[in-house]
Amino acid sequence: MRITSATTASLISTPGAAPMPAGRAANAPVAIAGTGVISAIGRNVTECLGSFEKGAAGMDTITYLDTVHRGQLPVAEVKADNETLARWAGVETSVSRTALLSLIAAREALERAAIPHRVRWRTGFISANTVGGMDRTENFYASFLDNPRYGRLRDVVLHECGSVTEWVADRLGITHFHSTISTACSSSANAISFGARMIRNGLLDIVVAGGTDALTRFTLNGFNSLMILDSRFCKPFDNDRLGLNLGEGAGYVVLVSDAVAATLSSPPGCVLSGFANANDAYHQTASSPDGRGSWLAMKGALQRAGLEPADISYINLHGTGTQNNDLAEGTAIRRLFDPVYPAMSSTKSFTGHTLGASGGIEAVFSVLAVLNGLIYPNLRFETPMTELPFTPTTEFLKGQPLRNVLSNSFGFGGNCTSLIFSKQSR
């Protein structure tokens, strides 16, 4: 039986849906069995980690997107055209770039999870995106407006965001539940927290959760109209920052119940211990100056995890590089952590801002940080912000004793989400 987001409630009474195990709190940690990612710095987990260690950013001049801004604005594109992505994914090319990126990363996450006899478990796919199949729709309308007899309707079939999720779920063989989240730049962080809630409440056993987004002309033009794109490579949390660089990619984690975790060949080394979503509703495209939404999200995640600010070892900053966002996030961090601050950095200095995929991609990086004791460098940082008493880390550090990593994803409209990933006691 396939359950969509519109029928989530009915799953509670579905025959075979196991109740929450006795004695298990609704806010108990959820194990993470696998990770998968594709971004401008690599087509999989191994390549991305290699780029971090080498300090190799993914920004470059525009290569694959057909836009008038080519040669003017740097972006962080995945280094492959759609035909190459389709070959990597093992599918046809007549689907959106968003869907191809999603399938590649989600499949890697499941393969790395290596769950025995996965078909016996109730499995869900909760995926976020903000552009859907817009990359193909843009091409369709260019031909159609030139001549109504031109333009292939197959290019608009997967336009809406939910169609991307359904297409990928079909190819992953996930039939029990799927849902699509679209809350701007916090989308895939919200997908992960939703997946954890489904498992904690005994509704699913396995959830592949995260998000995907591809670059489109609409996105690039929209952000450019807001005057928040940097014509240089972005400098998150630098006093001389001028804006963000857009990126693309996909990132997913595989969340599993205790019962599934017990079947794995080795115990998961990382859990999602806390999460929270808040909305300050300050402005349609700007964060509140006092960082209220950011503060509420981080504070709520700590409370759910039963942790204090001093327990956080590293913060994966939202860190877009815009004047407004970095100041709002930094103000919230100062309010919550002052006077002792953990290590922190923005991995968007490598991947660019991948919008609806950013929370998923950065969740993967956060899990890898916990598992491998990694702190990523904040590239191109030079001058501390005059308003803040802390600075981001600029070196790639290995072998760090990380217990808890906080990952921030703050979206348009004030939709703010924080996730906490913690080392699993063995």
Catalytic residues: 185, 318, 353
Task: Specify the amino acid at residue 229.
Answer: L
3-state DSSP assignment of residue 81: coil
The rounded distance, in Å, linking the Cα atoms of 303 and 323 is 29
The rounded distance, in Å, linking the Cα atoms of 88 and 273 is 33
Cis bond before residue 236 (omega within 30° of 0): no
b/e 366-381 (16+ beta carbons within 10 angstroms → b): bbbbbbebbbbbbbbb
- Among the listed residues 420, 423, 418, 421, the one whose alpha carbon sits nearest the alpha carbon of residue 186: 418
The rounded distance, in Å, linking the Cα atoms of 327 and 410 is 13
Counted residue by residue, the chain has a size of: 426
Beta pairing partners, 416:
278, 410
Contact 259, 284 (CB under 8 A): no
The rounded distance, in Å, linking the Cα atoms of 395 and 373 is 13
**Helices 97-113 and 161-172, interaxial angle, to 10°?**
40
The rounded distance, in Å, linking the Cα atoms of 282 and 278 is 12
